[in-house]
Every structure is written in structure tokens, then in C-alpha cells.
Chain A
């Protein structure tokens, strides 16, 4: 069940150099193109409020900042879980992954709460072109977060049951990249949608 340090290190080196990881990286880059299209749609439609409220009136900046800081911290804890694998420390790996899961879940709940509030106030996706593009862009990001959270749960169960195997280590390496990638996308959502929206773009 328990590996020596060298075994685990060789597993993670193997995972990082594997073709699976390169393939996963290519998937992430194509995912970037999906987000780029949604950003382009947002950039084109963000002025079409159809007489409804604009981003400047709708979004609360401190709320978005809180979300940003939570996601950034979860990115750090996700990285720390990978470092714990390098140290061959199963317990810490699980703790850091659970921390990442908690932060990711609170991010998602904050986002759902914001969506719910917008919808209740009559500013749902059917209100205007601006809100349609906003919900598709931020909603797609939220959907990715949800997938990441489910993936995390599955990996935690695997690692509790089986310990560090080639498969689980590879899974964690990919999940880590996926999670960092989502944080990278969020930088642009925060800057373009919330900050620039507040300035009045």
C-alpha cells in the first residue's frame, strides 16, 4: 500500500512526462478557444442592454473580489496537494485537496447565489443580449468548476482506497492543471466583466 519516496517521485515524473498529460494540455488549450468565443460574444453584446440594467448597475465589486480571492487561494491549495504527493504524504494530499474542494464549492455557491439574485430580480438571461452573453460566459466557467469538483471527490475516494498508484497520481496531476487553468480564465472574467464593467465599458 505505502510507497517509498522514490516510487512516488518516479510516478509523478512519469505522469508529468506522459502523453496523456500533453493530450490533456491540448484539450485545455482548445477549451481556451471555447472561452475566447464566449468572450468575443460578450465583447460584442455587452452594450445591448435593451433598456435593461448594465453591468455597472448590476454587479457588486466586493462580491466579485471575494470570489476571485477564494478561487486564487484554491489554486494555491491545489498546487500544495501536488507538492504533498512529491513528499509522499497521503494525509496532507487529502487535506489540501479537501481544502481545494471546500474553496471551490464556496466559489460555486457564491456564483449560484449571484445568478439566483439576478434571476429573481427579473434580470435573467432572457432580459437582454448583454445578460445572455454574461450568463453563458460566467455559467460555462461555473460548469467547468462543477466538473472539477466532482472530479476532486472521485479522486479523493480513489486515493483513500488505493493510495498513490500510477493512475491516481496521473489523475491528480491533470486535475491540478485543470484547476489552475480555470483560475487563469477567471482572471479575465474578473477583469473584463466585473472591473471593466464597473468602470463603464
Chain B
């Protein structure tokens, strides 16, 4: 019975923390702070909420009988980071190299106008 109460309190704690984190991210986004500051803080709040949900809702822990789940989880985090960071990195790089801005395209077209 004690165990159940403990789990119940875990759920309530996780739920309240997530609500606070969601609302603070929401109200931050509606303020007019500087762009990169907002992006970083919203990203950070999302990651904190991610960790809270994984610990309190998915019950992932460092206990010994959770070791297999934890390993799969960590490998997944690695893959996800590689896929997302790698794609953004490569595609932005390609974009910079291969997509000229509209302005430079127009000036190029104008310079070729007589041909």
C-alpha cells in the first residue's frame, strides 16, 4: 500500500512539474525577449520536461532491473541527436553553399539580360 502511495505522489509531482514547465515556456514565448535567448530557454525547458516525464511517468531509473531499458534509451538518445543535429548541420551548410539569395539571383539575371 505504501508503495502505491509513493507511486501516486510521483505521478502528482511529475504532473505538477510538467504543468509549471509548460506554462513558463508558454509565457516566455509570448514575451518580447531577444530571439536566441528565447530559443535556448524554450529548448532547455523542453529538455527538463522530457527528463521529468521519463523519470516520473515512464519510471526509467538507474535500478539494476532497469539496466536493459536504460541502455536502449541511451542509444536512442544518441541516434536521435545524431539524426537531428547532423541533418541541420549538413543541410544548412549545403544551403549556404548552393542556394544563392534572391538578391544575387536577380542581379545575376539582370547582368545576363542582353544575352
Contacts and interface: CB of A to CB of B under 8 A. Distances in A.
Interface of A: 17, 22, 25-26, 29-30, 32-33, 36-37, 39-41, 43-44, 61, 65, 68-69, 72-73, 75-76, 79-80, 83, 86-87, 177, 180-181, 183-184, 187-188, 190-192, 195-196, 198-201
Contact of A199 (B11, B38, B80): B38
Contact of B84 (A36, A181, A184, A198): A36
28 contacts: A17-B65, A33-B80, A36-B84, A37-B83, A40-B83, A41-B87, A43-B87, A44-B91, A68-B22, A83-B4, A86-B3, A180-B58, A183-B53, A183-B57, A184-B53, A187-B22, A188-B50, A190-B46, A191-B43, A191-B45, A192-B46, A196-B29, A196-B43, A198-B30, A199-B29, A199-B35, A200-B35, A201-B39
B11 A188 contact: no
| Consensus secondary structure, chain A interface | helix
Contact of B29 (A76, A184, A195): A195
A29 B73 contact: yes
B26 A195 contact: yes
